[in-house]
Chain A
Amino acid sequence: MTSLKRRSFLKGTAAGAVVAVAAASGMLQPTRVLAAQWPQDAFGADTMTDALKTLHGTDGPADNGDIQLIAPLQAENGAKVPVKVQTTLADVESIDILVSKNARPLAGHATFPNAHGFFSTRIKMAESSDVHAVVKAGGKLYQTKMTIKVTVGGCGG
Chain B
Amino acid sequence: MSRNMKLRTRTQEGQVELLVLINHPMETGQRTDTATKEKIPAHFIQHVAVALNGKTVATADLSTAISENPLLGFRLKDAKEGDMLKVTWDDNQGEKGEMEKAVSL
- List residues of A whose CB falls within 8 A of some B CB: 26-27, 29, 32, 34, 37-39, 43, 79-81, 84, 86, 99, 102, 104, 106-116, 118-124, 154-157
Contact = CB atoms under 8 A, between A and B. Distances in A.
Nearest to B74: A115
A154 B68 CA distance: 10
B63 A108 contact: yes
Given A32-B90, A79-B68, A157-B31, A118 B73 contact: yes
Nearest to B92: A32
Contacts, number: 116
Contacts of B77: 114-116
Interface of chain B, main secondary structure: strand
Contacts of B58: 110-115
User: Lowest 4 A-B CB distances belong to which pairs?
Assistant: A120-B73, A116-B75, A107-B65, A118-B75
Contacts of A80: 67-68
Given A43-B61, A79-B67, A108-B66, 16 more contacts: A27-B94, A34-B47, A34-B90, A38-B46, A104-B63, A107-B63, A107-B65, A108-B65, A109-B60, A111-B58, A114-B58, A116-B75, A118-B15, A118-B17, A119-B60, A121-B67
